Amino acid sequence: MTVHPKRLTLVALLLAGATALASCQRETGPDPLELTGKMFIFNYRLAYATYMITLTKTQPVPEGSTVVATFENPAGGAPLTLSRKLFAKLDKVVLESQDVSCVKKQRPYAVTIEVKEPDGAILQTLKTTVTSDLDQDILPAKALVVGPAYDKNPEVFEDGRTPEHFETAKCPS
């Protein structure tokens, strides 16, 4: 049996194309992101708390990929979500939630992180919890400073004087 040279060239081109396409897809293996830190941040001066999650890239991800974090809302109600684009040249990813209230000491709060390809396909899902060693009531009820120069908040420092004690944050009932 003789193989026609044009057919042989066509088969070789098809095999080369299939190999090239296969090498563009992510093979199963190590996850692209590794959880490296998780905590609550309490900003005493500005009277707020947030979740802070840090991740390190361990594998390349397709250009245009995103990370979507879903945080349990300590005050109850709908979870808080955050979406960030992943950049090829950045190896660290920092996710900080919007302000939260009603954080309770020693209570684990659920966090889910999804790494998504540009088309929305999920590359990786991370599930974890974040636990605070402080209650949010250690924060003042109102920001102690205001404005870009961190001036004393006139609602807290009446006539510029420090109050005998600061009112602390309360969780709405």
pLDDT of 58 reads: 94
Structure tokens at 50: 């947030």
Put residue 86 in one of left, alpha, beta given phi > 0 → left and psi -120 to 50 → alpha.
Answer: beta
Q: What are the pLDDT tens digits along the chain (173 aa)?
A: 555 555 555 544 445 454 444 444 444 557 899 999 999 999 999 999 999 999 999 999 999 999 999 999 999 999 999 999 999 889 999 999 999 999 999 999 999 999 999 999 999 999 999 999 999 999 999 999 999 999 999 999 888 788 888 888 888 76
Output the pLDDT for position 171.
83
d(CA 35, CA 23): 27
Domain boundaries defined on the chain? 33-152
In angstroms, the CA 159 to CA 7 distance is: 91
Which amino acid is residue 92, in one-letter code?
K
| CATH code of the region 33-152 | 2.60.40.10
Instruction: Note the pLDDT of residue 20.
Output: 44
Cα separation, 114 vs 33, in Å, equals 10
Q: How far apart are CA 49 and CA 109, in angstroms?
A: 14
